[in-house]
Structure 1
Amino acid sequence: MNAVLVAAILLLVNVLTFLAFCHDKAAAGAGEWRVPERTLLGLALVGGSLGAVLAQRLLRHKTRKEPFRSILALIIGCQLAMAIAWIIAPQWLLRMVASMH
């Protein structure tokens, strides 16, 4: 896949994640329908972890909620480990992922 396309998709996912956190924060203050934590964590899992962390920091939202914080930290840790593995040994990572299918 083209690197520019991957970057564009990741940017879009992160913007959507940030906006979902914004909506949830506003809804929490107004006593309205909330975005499920499963949805927020799912967006982080599919590549929106930077948007999630930025939203947490800038909006001060979901910063003390457990197990939300721990699960988000685990997602970020796994994503960092995969990124490091990709940089160090991209062929090994591709073989490992292919063997899972």
Structure 2
Amino acid sequence: MFIYFVLINVLSYAVMANDKRKAKRGAWRTSELTLWLLAFTGGAVGSWVAMQTHRHKTKHAAFKYGMPLLAIIDLGLLAYFS
């Protein structure tokens, strides 16, 4: 469980950071659905950290409030099942 949590969060961080790079270049972007699916499958912490470090999606209310809430839920589930 812990290894999965680490891997999905590293992947989520990388995808969110890559989306920010694409946004700066005007390139084809990662869909918000993909970003949310990664978060809902356990990668919310990585997504939230990427949002903060890369200042990405921080003006979108759904991401601004939803991602930290989902990250707290993910951490709670990790603690409960570990």
Question: TM-score by structure 2 length?
Answer: 0.81
Indicate the residue corresponding to 1:29 in structure 2.
24
- Residue 69 of structure 1 deviates from its aligned partner by 2.2
Partner of 2:33: 38
> In the TM superposition, what are the counterparts of 1:1-101 in structure 2 within 5 Å?
6-79=1-74, 82=77, 86=80
- Give, in whole Å, the separation in 1 of the partners of 2:45 and 2:73: 13
1:34 is paired with a residue whose SS is: coil
**In 2: Cα distance, 1:19 partner to 1:82 partner:** 22
Percent of residue pairs bearing the same amino acid type: 32
> How high is the TM-score relative to the length of structure 1?
0.67
Gaps of 5+ in 1: 1-5, 88-101
**Alpha-carbon distance, 1:32 to partner:** 0.7
Distance in 2 (alpha carbons) for counterparts of 1:82 and 1:17: 18
Greater Cα radius of gyration, structure 1 or 2: 1
Quote the offset at 1:53 in angstroms.
Answer: 1.3
